[in-house]
């Protein structure tokens, strides 16, 4: 089964691409990390309790004054966002704490979903993760699609149009917290555009243009990893496990190569 990692940055169009891929003619299952991240911090979960214990004492408005669950009050996500989005050392530290709570739980849910779709005989699934590279989840992906915009002003305008309550500072902090999408595009290209291990879909124009870009990306991916190959691996589990292990080794080596390239560039 081909795992297609889908990533980008906030307000670049990643959700729209996921919607396109989940609809005909592709009809691919989507494992959405954002949905799973909400699931693992619902009232009563271990993640919820950890967040309340750490952030609660210093964030008076962390919990909403509602009765939506018998397990406790819902998290006030905008209030939590104000604590973790930004470039200050305090916010970076708080973001690391939050990620340390959420990411392990999300990974476990992702692995369960992957097993479910594998045994159902899917030729490919889409793993939709905003911080795909940062979390290391790209290691298990056969290919990665990065949805990006070349003009930062386009990204800012889309975010503020979508979230009218955000100030310019809040919007900028959210964009920065997910990293430069052009750097993610460069990392995808470093994985290998000719082998379709890394594909960039630019979304600076309208939806029709985006759909054409997705069509071209999927044509390259399907040519590199045809459906019959996925079904052949499903029929021979030992071979499939071997291919998965080899893919992990290749991705790990590629990741190390990318990190070395960034370090060399930083020294210039």
Domain annotation for the chain: domains and CATH numbers: 2-29+122-267 (3.40.50.300), 38-107 (no CATH)
Q: What is the DSSP string of 80-122?
A: HHHHH-SSSHHHHHHHHHHHHHHHHHHHHHHHHHHHHHHHTT-
| pLDDT higher than 60, residue 247 | yes
Q: Token digits for 101? A: 């709570």
Most confidently predicted of 9-18, 64-73, 81-90: 9-18
Question: Quick one: pLDDT band at residue 193, thresholds 50, 70, 90?
Answer: confident
| pLDDT higher than 80, residue 162 | yes
Question: Quick one: pLDDT band at residue 66, thresholds 50, 70, 90?
Answer: low
14 contacts 159 by C-beta, under 8 angstroms:
no
This prediction's pTM: 0.86
Q: What is the pLDDT of residues 111-145, one digit of tens each?
A: 999 999 988 888 999 999 988 998 899 999 999 99
Start-end of H helices in the chain: 14-22, 33-39, 46-55, 77-84, 89-119, 132-135, 152-162, 168-177, 181-192, 207-224, 227-235, 237-267
CA-to-CA distance for 158 and 105, rounded, in angstroms?
Answer: 30
110 contacts 164 by C-beta, under 8 angstroms:
no
Q: Is 131 exposed, middle or buried (0-12, 13-18, 19+ CB in 10 A)?
A: middle
| pLDDT higher than 60, residue 78 | yes
pLDDT of residue 67: 58
Question: Quick one: pLDDT band at residue 233, thresholds 50, 70, 90?
Answer: confident
Strand order in the sheet with 143-148: 30-32, 124-128, 2-8, 143-148, 198-202
pLDDT of residue 120: 87
Across residues 243-259, what is the average pLDDT?
92
Terminal CA-to-CA distance of the chain, rounded, Å? Answer: 41
| pLDDT higher than 60, residue 68 | no
Half-sphere CA count of 55, side-chain side, radius 13 A: 29
Lowest mean pLDDT among 12-21, 236-245, 251-260: 236-245
Question: Quick one: pLDDT band at residue 218, thresholds 50, 70, 90?
Answer: very high
Cis bond before residue 25 (omega within 30° of 0): yes
217 contacts 193 by C-beta, under 8 angstroms:
no
Residue listed under structure tokens 């479910």: 116
Lowest mean pLDDT among 102-111, 223-232, 244-253: 223-232
Nearest to 8 by CA among 202, 247, 219, 206: 202
pLDDT of residue 119: 85
Question: Quick one: pLDDT band at residue 70, thresholds 50, 70, 90?
Answer: low
Nearest to 125 by CA among 221, 35, 3, 240: 3
pLDDT of residue 268: 66
Across residues 221-233, what is the average pLDDT?
85
């Amino acid at each position: 089964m081909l795992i297609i990692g889908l990533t980008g940055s906030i307000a670049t169009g990643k959700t729209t691409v996921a919607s396109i891929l989940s609809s005909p003619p592709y009809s691919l299952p989507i494992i959405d990390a954002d949905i799973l991240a909400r699931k693992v911090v619902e009232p009563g979960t271990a993640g919820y309790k950890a967040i309340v214990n750490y952030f609660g004492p210093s964030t008076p408005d962390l919990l909403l004054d509602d009765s939506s669950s018998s397990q406790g009050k819902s998290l006030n996500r905008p209030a939590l966002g104000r604590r973790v989005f930004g470039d200050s050392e305090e916010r970076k530290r708080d973001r690391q704490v939050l990620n340390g709570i959420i990411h392990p739980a999300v990974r476990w849910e992702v692995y369960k979903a992957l097993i479910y779709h594998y045994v159902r005989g899917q030729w490919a699934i889409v793993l939709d993760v905003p911080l795909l590279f940062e979390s290391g989840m790209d290691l298990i992906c056969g290919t990665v699609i990065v949805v990006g915009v070349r003009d930062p002003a386009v990204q800012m305008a889309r975010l503020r149009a979508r979230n009218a309550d955000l100030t310019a500072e809040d919007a900028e902090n959210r964009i920065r917290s997910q990293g430069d999408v052009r750097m993610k595009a460069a990392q995808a290209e470093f994985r290998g555009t000719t082998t379709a291990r890394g594909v960039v879909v630019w979304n600076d124009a309208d939806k029709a243009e985006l759909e054409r870009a997705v069509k071209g990306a999927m044509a390259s991916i399907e040519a590199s990893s045809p459906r019959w190959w996925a079904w052949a691996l499903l029929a021979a589990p030992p071979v499939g496990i071997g291919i998965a292990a080899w893919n992990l080794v290749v991705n790990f080596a590629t990741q190390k190569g990318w990190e070395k390239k960034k370090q060399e560039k930083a020294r210039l």
